[in-house]
Amino acid sequence: MNLPNILTVARTVFTFIAATLLCMDVRFFALAAAVLYIIAGATDWFDGYIARKYDMVTTFGKFMDALSDKIMVVTMFMTLFALGCFRQYVILCLFCAVISIAREFLVSGIRMIASKAGIVQAAEKLGKYKAGFQMYALGAIIAAQSLRVDFHAEGSILDMLLFYSGVVTLIISTVLSVISGWTYTKRYWHLLKG
């Protein structure tokens, strides 16, 4: 197993550890979860960069990279909902989560069908922006939770800044999810009709 693949697998491991830490009522565990989440997010960039630069791209890496991203997002969404971290915006954020996760299943299905048809799909910039906004949104909500439970700073300027910026960027990522999902569907509709 090469370094990019190790980083990809580590992302999944870090995600599960971060989710576990968030669920434990021990001071500074939420802060540790936020730090681990940031590290996990960083591996998403580094694994791809190293794999491309040093020609270490593997079939396992392509599969696991996409799977790790989905595990990271779904696990964090579920954990944050379970802990009530979306506060008074839980319904809005639930709507965003459902749309975002549905888009991931849709795009994954289209990619699988396109792959069987011999069509190689390059990653789209819109999808990368969506992922960036989504990762920031979840990270900001986790950090706000840390301020709330570790430092008793709910309602502080930093707490409000992190929480509301997280909600806003989650909405932006959801809009980008819809647009990119529609783009994928339109482009490969002929495969879905076959």
| Domain boundaries defined on the chain | 3-193
Instruction: Please give the structure tokens belonging to residue 127.
Output: 């999808």
Question: DSSP letters of 87-140?
Answer: GGGHHHHHHHHHHHHHHHHHHHHHHHHHHHTT---PPPHHHHHHHHHHHHHHHH
Q: Is the pLDDT of residue 74 over 70?
A: yes
Domain 3-193 of CATH type 1.20.120: yes
Residue-wise pLDDT for 79-113, tens only, equals: 999 999 999 999 999 999 999 999 999 988 888 88
C-alpha 83 chain-centroid distance: 18
- Pick the range with the lowest mean pLDDT from 134-143, 154-163, 168-177, 181-190: 181-190
Q: What is the pLDDT of residue 110?
A: 86
Q: Is the pLDDT of residue 119 over 80?
A: no
Q: What is the pLDDT of residue 121?
A: 64
Contact predicate 78/156, CB 8 Å: no
Which residue is it, tokens 């968030």? Answer: 22
Contact predicate 137/170, CB 8 Å: yes
Q: What is the pLDDT of residue 169?
A: 98
Which residue is it, tokens 């590290």? Answer: 39
Higher-confidence residue: 113 or 23? 23
